[in-house]
Chain A
């Protein structure tokens, strides 16, 4: 699992301790239930896992999350190399290479001993259509059925046609699991899971909303590590409890004057997937410069409709409708205008001084738009911005010095603007 960068502090926070235990338990439970005969589903991250709670004995695993954890634990490059040795190009997404490498080597070197072999693969194509290609590899390798959710990319807010199309496919997915697992779906159980997810996301938004305070009681690195249980414990009471505890504890620390970057001088926004192999290094080095990446598009999007950063509430009536409406919550399914709309809100609400666009060759869907986004942020919003090269999970493709040369230049630009009397956010 990924440890909070706060773990390097003299005292590990209670929520960080709970996070470690929770993730370990999630993976252990997954393996145990799978070995006891549960129906195992592998999913892409935005597949609505709450649906699986509608069945008595269906468990799910998220290869992307496992890959992130592997990178955070320092075995990303090792697993990537295994996939490359099997002929998979080093230009492929590093999450995919980690996962393929892990599978090909039978789970060796994985922090969780890999994932239990699935009975069903479920991908979708809006967050990243390459998940379809990635899961197809296992479909061909094992003969495991592969169910694809076709979620139209959104250049505007989701329309009725797309909503109905998505919702119909959820029903298809449910029927498929019923047929393959022999289990019956009960909507009231899924509704309960959706209700808990919505409650947990409300607490999540309370936590990341603290980034609007000056100084900020959180860093984006905290939000990176604490997003893990959204992927492993979705739709559970313990997820609600975790985020409530996280938000409460952070508020309490703030009341006591405890801040992750005590001398915070620069408030930054990070755009792209977390650099899992650099969390502690990067956060520590930034803190030494008085810089705090308080905000990240990767985490403020969670639980929000396209173009928004606020929580989308569940009215308790139709769980499939809530899940269908929220299918574009991640950044990647959204067009440029929608991404910018959400980013502008985050910049204004959180008093951002500068934006770091992490150009990530492992994630073209996130990155191919950033040059125009950066231009807009600089020229229209008047906020300094830079672009650095990052790979989210393959540290061989990251140069710390090259990145920090640009980050330091960004901080100097912010200083220059301040000394010239221009406001930090125009």
Chain B
């Protein structure tokens, strides 16, 4: 939590113009191409430090993501951000822009807010693609006015190249994790750092990690599992997976695989770029048009990676994840992938030991299965 704040303060002190973005899949490349530094307001530590400021505005039954980002923006937003950006993803987050604006106003602050309605229907429906094009054109115009710069296709291409490089390196880290070259917790930490760290700096860090772990043996020893959720769980739980001899061969964390399995060739046209990005985005519970494909996609990934177990870390109060969970878990079980569902609230430290015990028991069950026990 402190690290994030210190990082953003450093950027600010160095003269960066920060745009706080939420939720996860905003058009970061576009902001970057205008010389801005987009950071994603997600995974802001365990949130406890920010809840008091949030509690006056958002009920306790909102998810930790919404509460933490609300508190963070209220506490530090005016000092850190030149602008905020949000797109429609969930019902709680879409209610936040005006809450944040009012809260900041009441403290004598103001941060410009950019918004985008991302079509919630497949972009291969003609009017959806047209609509996205119009909205992107409006966003570009707003950014031109905000920055005093004209849009540059070359600059966008350069930014898109950086983000594609980052996604590729994150996939490399995930591959390392699958081969036992990097602990699950470290993989999660280095990938999720990308939410808050400037893209070039993140790339440098990722390259260092990937470079230092090259030449590893082909496969890790242990029981192969897949893990998923709206964000990686507390690192203690990932450590518990490793120490229980579970090898995370694939993940479906929104902050990890759902973000970085996407691959789009850079191009100077934002509309073409984002149409492809969102049309072929790895399925996510918050991207409504991808719902059709999600279960099949995850089961296929589990099978392809040889996962024998699937651990779903359910984010407390995230209904988008919870509506899909029963059918997802059942689909995995039908394919012979054993499942464990854990309900997680990042700020809940008291129940970590119970979760660790359940992970250990799950690992024992899988190991018994592997030896015919």
Name A residues whose Cβ lies closer than 8 Å to a Cβ of B.
86-89, 91-93, 96, 125, 128-130, 132-134, 136-137, 139-141, 148-150, 152-153, 155, 161-162, 165, 168-169, 172, 332, 335-337, 359, 361, 364-365, 367-372
Choice from A130, A141, A150, A359 contacting B323 with Cβ under 8 Å: A130
B134 within 8 A of A: yes
For A83, the closest partner residue in chain B by CB is: B326
| B119: chain A residues within 8 A (beta carbon) | 150
Contact across chains for B121 and A148 when beta carbons are under 8 A apart: yes
Contact of A132 among B94, B98, B125, B291 (CB under 8 A): B291
Could you tell me if B134 and A337 are in contact, using CB atoms closer than 8 angstroms?
no
- CB neighbours of B134 from chain A (8 A): 161
A96 and B292 CA atoms in complex are apart in Å by 19
- Residues A87 and B95 in contact in the complex (CB < 8 Å), given A129-B90, A150-B128, A152-B117: no
- In the complex, 19 of the A-B residue pairs with CB atoms within 8 angstroms, ordered by the A residue number, are A87-B325, A89-B319, A89-B322, A93-B319, A96-B323, A133-B285, A133-B323, A140-B327, A148-B121, A150-B128, A153-B94, A332-B91, A335-B97, A365-B94, A367-B59, A368-B96, A369-B98, A369-B99, A372-B103
Chain A's nearest CB lies how many Å from the CB of B4? 24
Q: Are A361 and B59 in contact (CB under 8 A)?
A: yes
Q: Which residues of B contact A128 (CB under 8 A)?
A: 91
> Is B98 a contact of A155 with CB atoms below 8 Å?
yes
In the bound assembly, the distance between CA atoms of A132 and B292 in angstroms comes to: 11
Q: Once the chains bind, are A87 and B326 in contact (CB under 8 Å)?
A: yes
Nearest-CB residue, chain A, relative to B57? A371
- In the complex the two chains form, what is the Cα distance from A6 to B94 in whole Å? 38
A140-B327, A372-B99 known; A130-B319 Cβ under 8 A: yes
Given contact pairs A129-B90, A153-B117, A169-B121, A137 touches B98 in the complex (Cβ within 8 A)? no
| Interface size of B in residues (CB-CB distance below 8 Å) | 50
Q: Which residues of chain A are near B62, meaning CB under 8 Å? A: 364, 368
Given contacts A128-B91, A153-B88, A368-B95, contact A136 B323 (CB under 8 A): yes
Tell me if B147 counts as interface (CB < 8 A to partner A): no
Q: Which 3 A/B pairs are nearest by Cβ-Cβ distance?
A: A87-B326, A365-B91, A133-B323
Q: How far is the CB of A389 from chain B (nearest CB, A)?
A: 9
Also in contact, A335 and B98, with CB within 8 A (given A91-B316, A129-B120): yes
Contacting residues, chain A, for B325 (C-beta < 8 A)? 87, 89
Question: B65 contacts which chain A residues (CB < 8 A)?
Answer: none
Most buried by B among A92, A133, A137: A133
B131: which A residues are within 8 A, CB to CB?
161, 165
Q: Which of chain A's residues have a CB closer than 8 A to the CB of B151?
A: none
**Cβ contact within 8 Å between A91 and B317:** yes
Within residues 44 to 100 of chain B, which ones have a CB less than 8 A from any CB in chain A? 56-59, 61-62, 66, 88, 90-92, 94-99
B267 CB to closest chain A CB (Å) equals 25
Q: Is B186 an interface residue (CB 8 A)?
A: no
Asked if B102 is at the interface (CB within 8 A of a chain A CB), the reply is: yes
The answer to whether A129 touches B288, judged by C-beta atoms less than 8 angstroms apart, is: yes
> Are A92 and B319 neighbours in the complex by a CB distance under 8 Å?
yes
Q: Chain B interface (Cβ within 8 Å of chain A)?
A: 56-59, 61-62, 66, 88, 90-92, 94-99, 102-103, 115, 117, 119-121, 125, 127-128, 131, 134-135, 285, 288-289, 291-292, 295, 314, 316-317, 319-320, 322-327, 329-330, 343
**Is A137's CB under 8 angstroms from B327's CB?**
yes
Q: Which residues of chain A are near B343, meaning CB under 8 Å?
A: 89
Are B58 and A371 in touch, CB under 8 angstroms? yes
- In the complex, which residues of chain B have a beta carbon less than 8 angstroms from the beta carbon of A86? 326
Chain A residues with CB below 8 A from B97, complex form: 155, 335
Across the interface, which residues of A come within 8 angstroms of B291, CB to CB? 132-133, 136
Closest to B291 in A: A136
B residues less than 8 Å from A87 (CB atoms): 325-326, 329-330
Give B289's nearest chain A residue, CB to CB.
A148
Least Cβ–Cβ distance between A50 and chain B, in angstroms = 21
Taking the nearest CB of chain B, how far is it from the CB of A67, in angstroms?
15
Q: Is the CB of B59 within 8 A of A150?
A: no
Known: A133-B324, A372-B99. A364 touches B92 (CB 8 A): yes
On whether the beta carbons of B91 and A130 are closer than 8 Å, the reply is yes
Known: A89-B322, A364-B92. A168 touches B127 (CB 8 A): yes
Flag if B59 contacts A337 (CB, 8 Å): no
Q: B323 to A372, Cβ gap below 8 A?
A: no
Residue of B at shortest CB range from A152?
B117
CB nearest neighbor in A for B119: A150
Residue in A88, A140, A150, A371 whose beta carbon sits within 8 Å of that of B322 in the complex: A88
Residue of A nearest to B122 (CB): A148
Tell me the minimal C-beta distance from A340 to chain B in angstroms.
9
Q: How far is the CB of A330 from chain B (nearest CB, A)?
A: 13
Residue on B with the closest CB to A161? B134
Least distance between B335 CB and chain A CB atoms (Å): 15
| B268: min CB distance to chain A, Å | 24
Contact A125 B120 (CB under 8 A): yes
Smallest beta-carbon distance B294→chain A, Å: 9
Within the assembled complex, what's the spacing in Å between the Cα atoms of A155 and B101? Answer: 12
- Chain B, residue nearest A134 (CB): B323
B61–A364 touching, CB < 8 Å = yes
Given the complex of chains A and B, what is the CA–CA distance between A148 and B330 in angstroms? 25
Q: Which partner residue on chain B sits nearest A153 by CB separation?
A: B94
B61 near A150: Cβ-Cβ < 8 Å:
no
- Which chain B residue has the least Cβ–Cβ distance from A162? B117
Contact B58 A125, beta carbon cutoff 8 Å? no
Among A96, A140, A336: residue with most chain B CB under 10 A = A140
Interchain CB contact (< 8 A) of A361 among B61, B320, B323: B61
- State A149–B94 Cα separation when bound (angstroms): 17
CA distance A128 to B131 in the complex (A): 21
Query: CA separation between A139 and B292, bound complex, in Å?
Result: 9
Distance from B240 Cβ to chain A, minimum over Cβ atoms (Å): 23
Select from chain B the residue with minimum beta-carbon distance to A87.
B326
In the complex, what's the smallest C-beta–C-beta distance from A158 to chain B, in angstroms? Answer: 12
- Decide if A88 touches B98 in the complex (CB within 8 Å): no
Judge whether B323 and A336 touch: CB under 8 Å.
no
Cβ contact within 8 Å between A148 and B120:
yes
B319 with A140: CB separation less than 8 A: no
Cβ of B95 and Cβ of A133 under 8 Å apart?
Answer: no
A30 CB → nearest B CB, Å: 25
> Given A150-B120, A372-B102, do A129 and B327 touch, yes or no (CB 8 Å)?
no
- B125 cross-chain contacts in A, Cβ below 8 A: 172
Could you tell me the distance between the alpha carbons of A87 and B325 in the complex, rounded to whole angstroms?
Answer: 8
Chain A residue nearest to B324 in the complex (CB): A133
Complexed CA–CA distance, A133 and B131 (Å): 23
Q: How far is the CB of A130 from chain B (nearest CB, A)?
A: 6
- Within 8 Å CB of B96, what residues of A? 368
